[in-house]
Amino acid sequence: MARPERQAPPELFYNESESRKYTTSSRIIHIQAKLTERAMELLALPDDKPKLLLDIGCGSGLSGETLSEKGHHWIGMDISQSMLEVALEREADGDLLLGDIGQGLGLRPGVFDGAISISAVQWLCNADKSCNDPRKRLKCFFTALFHCLARGARAVLQIYPENTAQLELITSAAMRCGFSGGLVVDYPHSSRAKKYFLCLVSGPPSVLPKPKGEDGGSESEDNEIDEDDEEEEDNARTVKFSGRERPAKRSKLEKKNKKGRDWILRKKEQRRKAGHEVPRDTKYTGRKRKARF
């Protein structure tokens, strides 16, 4: 299926029928809640006291519900009228603003204790109108975000970049606007469960939060964020990195892991352990077949 970002600008893509899914699809509801839980974990607020948070691309208010459950107040901004209507229907506790984050945020400096964003910021990479220059819009957004956060406050943005170039575009725009921090990638070896969290700090650099499954542990039923992808998840391990050069390198590494003989041997061993019948390993394992009949 084509990426939503390729189909239409966000205010049109998130129309009434798409927005409807955010109250009717238990899968979407589950995913939004899980991603927000994880974003909150990475936000690592200093204590349990109620804070004022910003939800960027707050949409139907599903992510906001998780913030409210934790006792926080939030203000949400979204570009889609239909999504905000759904938030009203769901009786979101936060205040809602109809706005385009690519135009800045229109918020006073230093007031938010933290910000989260679930699956929204990659939309800024679209050049779906002649007036939309992704670089300008990203700059406008990150500058405004940096200003409205209290000093030392964090922002955790979960994003679905289309490719490494886009990831790089977003990350470097953030760094150029004064943020420090970096990317936390959960389950990097699973094409479906893999999730990018851009963790930003406005202020002096600090230690990046610990990624999930560093010990190579697998995603448990309970924690799973997306449809499961059994084989891949056995290997789920989190890679963390920050800075500009790293994304490209890391993805090359992954490709190697996915193809070559080593990868096949490892997969076979896993299947064996799981009690399946698997052909024995020979010198032919993982070799290309000749084009011959």
Partner 1 sequence: MRLLTHNMLSCNIKGVSKGFPLGIEVAKLETKTVEFNPQFLRHSFPKIEWKAFQEAAKTLGVNDLPEQVEPSMLDDDDFLRRFHHALLEIHLEEGDLVCPETGRKFPVAKGIPNMLLNEDEV
Binding site for ligand SAM (CB under 6 A): 10, 14, 22, 32, 57-60, 62-63, 77-80, 83, 100-102, 118-120, 123-124
CA-closest candidate to residue 115, choices 186, 170, 39:
39
Instruction: Look up residue 279 and give its DSSP letter.
Output: P
CA 257 from chain centre, in angstroms, equals 23
Q: Do the beta carbons of residue 36 and residue 184 sit within 8 Å?
A: no
Q: Which of the choices partner 1, ligand SAM, none does residue 92 contact, using the CB cut-off of 5 to 8 A by kind?
A: none
- Positions 61 through 90 that interact with partner 1 (CB under 8 A): 71, 73, 75, 77, 79, 84-85, 88
Beta carbons within 8 Å of 25's beta carbon, 6+ residues apart: none
Nearest to ligand SAM of 123, 179 (CB atom): 123
Nearest to partner 1 of 71, 243 (CB atom): 71
Three-state secondary-structure class, residue 114 = strand
The span from the CA of 214 to the CA of 236, in Å, is 9
Characterize 65-93 residue by residue with b for buried, 16 or more Cβ atoms within 10 angstroms of its Cβ, and e for exposed.
bbbeebebebbbbbbbebbbebbeeeebe
Q: Which of the choices partner 1, ligand SAM, none does residue 32 contact, using the CB cut-off of 5 to 8 A by kind?
A: ligand SAM
Q: Which of the choices ligand SAM, partner 1, none does residue 108 contact, using the CB cut-off of 5 to 8 A by kind?
A: partner 1
Contact residue for partner 1 among 6, 46, 98, 253 (CB under 8 A):
98
- What x-and-dash track marks residues 145-184 binding partner 1 by CB under 8 A? ---x------------------------------------
Minimum Å distance from CB 91 to partner 1?
Answer: 10
